[in-house]
A and B are shown apart, each in its own frame.
Chain A
Amino acid sequence: MLNFKIERTPAPRWAVVVIPIVAVLVTFLLCSILVLMAGANPFAAFYNFIVTPLSSQVSALEVLVKSTPLILTGMAVTFAFTAGYFNIGAEGQLYAGAIAATWVGITFTNLPGIVMIPLMVVAGFAGGVLWALIPALLKVKLKVDEVVTTLLMNSIIMFFVSFLLNGPWRSPVSGWPQSAEISDAAHFARLFPKSRLHIGFIIALLVVVIVYILIKRTPLGLKMRASGASLTGAQFAGIDTTRTMLIAALVSGGIAGLAGAVEIGGIHFHLIESISNGFGYTGIIVATLGSLHPIGATIAAMFIGLIGTGSQTVSRVLGVPVYLGDVVQNTLLLVTLAMFLLQNYRIKRV
C-alpha cells in the first residue's frame, strides 16, 4: 500500500494560469452527467458553450452584451468585498438603479440624448446608492450583519417592482406588467450594425478602470484594503473604518445600480420584472473567480457571458434545458474555489 502524505506548501506561480483551465475541465466533466441525462452528447454541449459563441462576429459581440451587466455587478461586489463589506444586495441595487433610470427615461422625454444618457447613468447610480444605504448604515452604526439585511432588501425591492409594473407604471398600451418605453433619446447607442452591443459596454469598461484606480492607487483604496484585511489593524492605524466601509458600501450599491440603468437603456428600454437573471448574485461569482482583482473579475465576467450565450445555443440545438448554463457557471465557481484552496497542498509519496 503506497503511503501518501499531504503537506502544505506555497502555491507555484503557474497555478494562476493552470487553475482556471483545470477548473473548466473538471466542471465540464461533472456537468457531463447532466447532459447525458438529457440524452445529449457532452462534447457537443461544451463545444456549443465555448466555441460556437465565438464563431461569428454577431455571436461574439452578443457575449460582450451578456458580459456587460456582469462586469458592472462584478465591480460592485469587488469594491465592497475589498473593504470587508459583504454586499450580497447587488441584485436589489441593480433593480433600484433600473427603476431610477426608467423613471428618468419616461419622464424627461423632451431632453436630447446627450443629456439623457448621462442623466440615466447618474440616476442608476443614485438608485443603487439609495437602496444600499439602509443596510450600510445598519452595519456601520449598529453592527447589524449586512449579509442578512442586503438579502432581505433584494426581496423587498422585487415587490416594489411588481407594484410599479402592475400599478402606476403598467403600460396603458399593452396592458402587460411592463413600463412605458423610455424616450428614444434615452436609448443607448449601438456600437456595431446587426449587434445589440451598446455603449453600456464602454461604460462598463470605464468603470473597471475607475475601480482599479480607486482600489490600487488612491488613499481611499488603501484604507479599504486595510479595513477589509484587518479591521483592528486599520482602526489602530487611525483609519476611520466606519466612514471607509460606508463609502465602499454605497459606491458598490451605485455601481450595481448602474448595471440596472445600463440594461434598461441598452437592452430592454422599459422596465420589466426580468431585466436581471440573477446578475447581482453572479457578480459575486465573478468577483470571487477574479480573486477580487478588477481585471480578473472582468475576464471572469466575460467567460460567464460566454457560457450564458452558449447555453441558449445548447438548449436550442441539443434540447437540453437552458438552465444547464446556470449549473455550469455555479459548478465552475465551486470547483474554482476548491482549487484555489487545494493549490496550497501537495501529495507526496512517503
Chain B
Amino acid sequence: MYAVEMLGITKQFGNVLASDNVHFCLEKGEIHALLGENGAGKTTLMRILYGLYKADAGEIFIDGQKVEVTSPKQAIQAGIGMVTQHFTLVPTLTVAENIVLGYHDKHTVSKSEIEAKVKQASEKYGIHVEPAALVRQLSVGERQRVEILKALYRNARILIMDEPTAVLVPQEVDVLFESLLRLVKSGLSVIFISHKLHEVMAVCDRITVLRNGHVTGTVRKDETTQQDLANMMVGRETFGVSRQAKRETGKVIYTVKNLSANNKQGLPTLKDVSFEVHAGEILGVAGVSGNGQTELTQVLTGTLKPTEGSVSLGQVDLTQADPHAITEAGVGRTPEDRHEGSIGSLSVAENLALEDLDQFIHNGLLDQAAITENAKKYIDEFQIKASPSDQLRKLSGGNMQKVILARALCRKPKLVIASQPTRGLDVGATEYVRNKLLAERDRGAGVVLLSEDLDEIIALSDRIAVIYEGCIRGIIPTADATAEKLGMMMAGAC
C-alpha cells in the first residue's frame, strides 16, 4: 500500500495550468524525489497535498484512505509535514514556542514545560535543536532543523521537503541526508523536491519528473542516469555545467577594501570584506543565504551604508554613494529580489526609464513618447515578451528579470553587479541571463556575480570568492575550484 497517492491532480492559476492530470505515488519508507526545473509544478503539487492549495480536480489517498485535505491543519492530522524554502517560523519566538505553536493541548504555556518536551523530541528523532533560542538568532541550517523537528513533533509520517539544500552549505547537506536516511529507516516516508540532479541521485530511491505541470516519468534510481533525468526534465539535451576556459583579463577596475556593514537590524553582517574585479572578468561570490550576500549586494548597490571600508570604481569613490550616484558612475545593478527591486504596478516602460529620468524630461513634463521608444528598443534587444505599457507584475519571472537586466545593462556599464540573477527562473530564461552576463564580460565589463547556486558560480566565473558568516574565506581561480573545496572554505577550513 502506498503512503500517499495523488491521482489526476489538476490545478489552474488564471491562464496557467500548474498541474495537469498528475499521478504521484509515494511508497512507505522511501525517499522519493520530485524533480523538475523551476516552474514545473513541483511546489504546487506539494502545496495541494499540504492543504495550502485546493486542486481543481483529482483525488488524494493517504494509507489507502481517500482524504480531503483543505487546510494545513488537516494535512497535519493526516500525518503530513512540510518543510519549505521560506521557513514558516516566527522569528521573535523561541524554538520551543515555534514547535508547539498550534499543537499544544493546554490553555497555558509554561516555558520550562515546552522546552522539556522539545528536548525530548529532539533526542528521540536525533535532530539537534536548542529549545530556548530565539529563532531569529539561528543560522539557516539550524532553522531548517527546527522546521523538520516541528513536523516530526506532530507525528508526521510523511515529510515533504521543498528544495531543502538550496540554503545549505555542503557539510550541512551531508548532515541532512544522513538524518533523512536514518528517519526513513524508522518508518518515515519522504518527498524530496529538487532541481539538482546529482543530489537526487545521491539520496533518493525513486524519482518522478515534472515538466510544465505534467509527469514525464517515474523511475527507480538504479534504472536511470542523470542524463535521462535531464532529458525528462527539459525534453532536450541540456548543457552540463561546464566551466569557462581560462582567459586574459584586463586591469583592476573595481576595488572593495575592508568593507564592514551592519544589517537592517543593526547586527554586524559584513566583516572586513575585500576583493578586486578586473575588466573582462566575472568574479563569482559563492555563499548561501544568511551569510552576508544580501548585505553585500545592498552595500554595493547603494541601499545600505557600510560602517567601515571603501568601494571604488577606478578613481571614483563609491563608498557612501546612493543608488543614483552609483549608476551614474557606470555600475549596472540588479536587485537580489526582483520583486522588491522593481515597481510591479508601473509599466515596463516606466520601470526601464526610472533609473535615468533626466533624459526623458521635456519642458518639465515626462516625454511619454521617448519613454515608450526607449522601452521598445530594449524589449527588442532583450527579447522581452511584453509591450511597453504592460504592468510589470503581469510579466513572467523570466521576462521581469529581463526588464531588470535591460535597465542595468542599457548604459553599457563598466561594472555589473548581478545578484541572484537566475533565482526562480525557468531553464530558457536562466540560459538567456547567463549568456547575457558572459556577453558583458566579453565586452570588457567586470561582473560581480552573487549567487547561491554553486553550479552557476562554477559555470560562469573566472574567479570565485567564498563568503561565509560575513567574511571572504578565500578567492581562488575557478580552475582550482571543486564543490568540495568550496564547501570546505565555507565551513571555515581554508
Contacts and interface: CB of A to CB of B under 8 A. Distances in A.
Interface in A237-252: 237-240
B344 A229 contact: yes
B365 interface: yes
A54 B326 CA distance: 59
A219 B357 contact: yes
Given A218-B365, A222-B357, A236 B323 contact: yes
A230 B355 contact: no
Contact of A229 (B323, B343, B355, B364): B343
A245 B357 CA distance: 17
Contacts of A237: 323, 342-343, 351, 354-355, 407
Contacts of B302: 238
Nearest to B13: A8
Interface string B440-483: 00000000000000000000000000000000000000000000
Contacts of A222: 346, 350, 354, 357, 366
Interface string A215-231: 00111011101100110
A219 B361 contact: yes
B301 interface: yes
Given A233-B341, A237-B323, A225 B303 contact: no
Contacts of B333: 236
Interface string B364-387: 111010000000000000000000
Contact of A238 (B327, B351, B364): B327
A234 B303 CA distance: 11
B324 A238 contact: yes
Given A218-B364, A238-B323, A229 B345 contact: yes
A195 interface: no
Contacts of A226: 343, 346, 350, 354
Interface string A196-233: 00000000000000000100011101110110011011
A225 B407 CA distance: 19
Classify chain B: how many residues form its interface, as a range.
Answer: 20 to 34
B484 interface: no
Contact of B303 (A10, A221, A229, A235): A235
Given A9-B14, A219-B366, A233 B343 contact: yes
Contacts of B360: 219
A55 to B, nearest CB: 42
B482 to A, nearest CB: 35
Contacts of B343: 225-226, 229-230, 233-234, 237
Contacts of B365: 213, 217-218
Interface string B326-365: 1100000101000011111110001100110100110011
A238 B351 CA distance: 12
Nearest to B353: A222
Contact of A236 (B301, B325, B364, B366): B301
Interface string B50-77: 0000000000000000000000000000
Interface string A1-19: 0000000011000000000
A226 B407 CA distance: 16
B130 interface: no
Nearest to B335: A236
Nearest to A219: B357
Interface of A: 9-10, 213, 217-219, 221-223, 225-226, 229-230, 232-240
The 10 closest A-B pairs by CB, nearest first: A238-B324, A238-B323, A237-B354, A236-B341, A232-B340, A229-B345, A233-B343, A230-B343, A219-B357, A229-B343
Given A230-B345, A233-B340, 18 more contacts: A9-B14, A218-B366, A219-B360, A222-B357, A222-B366, A223-B357, A225-B346, A226-B343, A226-B346, A229-B344, A229-B346, A232-B341, A234-B354, A235-B303, A236-B341, A237-B343, A237-B407, A238-B326
